Amino acid sequence: MNPLSVFTYYYRNILKLAPVFLVLALAVFGISLTGVLTGSISASAVSKVEVYRGAAMIAPNSVEGKNAIDANIRGDLAQNPNIAATFPTIRFSTYMPTLAGQTSAHIYAVNAEVYPVLMRAFDLKLVEGHLPRVGTNQVALHKSLMGARNFKLGEVIDPELDDQEFIPDKFEIVGILDGRTQLSLASLEYVSAAGVFRNWARSVLAVPRAGAQDAAERDLEGLDKALVRPFTYSAELRTFTQEFASMDAIVWAINSIVVLVLSLLAGLLNLIYFMDRMNEFGLLLAIGYPRSFVIRRALLESLLLTLIAWVFGILFSQAIYGLLNMIIFEPRGVSLTVLNWRALQFTLPIPIMVGFFAAGTVLWQLKSLDPMQMIERRD
């Protein structure tokens, strides 16, 4: 084994290196946690917007006291060359627990013949049970909502038994849908005839033609806002991104401070270990090794330790998230992972900043190191 090998030093000094290694690995886990959690929150919110990619919704302007789409606008939508089809709908919501608290999960009441059209548009599959039957108070819920609420097939959503529930009527869960888009379905024939939904908005779903998504959204955004409120994918995503950006900036600011403090700590630990090895480096210089070689070797040790600790921290974090997913989150329709660009972005400053501080301390000491001091044991 090469006595000057970096790995030889690691092998012979595992206990000495352990504190720095563990500090960096735990720092990666702690920092990644904020990225993973905020990423999960963001993904949950974006999944609600995703429905408008396959079918924009045009709702009557409730501010103006309207609860139905103007007949002229309905005609314009039917004749629009960028829109493949329009379908009447009444949208209502139930609550859905998330990592950031509760949010609303939309349920779209449409005619029975529209079920397969929407399921194709959103690439949804019926994985269990059946679709709501015509004229019944049945719903088919998305798998993520089923998991979040711990629902079972045959269960009844009853607002009288749940103080948090804001659906105004009882609905029996008869089917489970699965797919990227969080879409749940109900019978429009039942909802439109139910007295509790008498004053609810009668909206329209507009499915864009293939390749005409942008043109269709521009046309919908140009509708008279005094009469209708269009919900399009690009507009809703833009609104969410603007609102989420402020929270993201706060998280990044906090993480930057934490990374800076951890980098100083790791740099200090690195300096302590380096000072403990001054005799070794002084001896290498005294027997003729160039100062550049000693600096290169010390820098390589510091940077390799930082990189290995970062990789270990990523793997350790993923193992923890996998365990949490299996026990807690996946049964609730949520999955945490550090193996995505957003989470990795949060952790990348750790090896960069720690490597910078570690390299700084090494260069500072080695450039002024006098080998004769080590040989004569002078300070």
Q: Of 44, 90, 32, 54, nearest to 240 (Cα)?
A: 44
The predicted pLDDT at position 245 comes to 79
Q: What is the mean pLDDT of each run of 10 residues along the chain (379 residues)?
A: 57 72 82 81 77 92 80 91 95 86 88 94 94 97 92 94 92 95 94 93 94 93 90 90 79 80 73 73 80 80 81 90 84 76 83 79 74 60
CA distances 318 to 39, 229, 325, 329, 337, Å, are 15, 43, 10, 14, 6
Measured in degrees and rounded to the nearest 5, phi and psi for residue 272 equal: -60, -45
The predicted pLDDT at position 1 comes to 45
List, in sequence order, every residue forming a beta bridge with 157; answer none if it has no partner.
171
The predicted pLDDT at position 19 comes to 76
Query: 326 Cβ partners below 8 Å, 6+ apart?
Result: none
pTM: 0.74
* Pair of tokens at residue 36: 């993973």
**Other CB atoms within 10 Å distance of the CB of residue 15:** 7
The predicted pLDDT at position 376 comes to 62
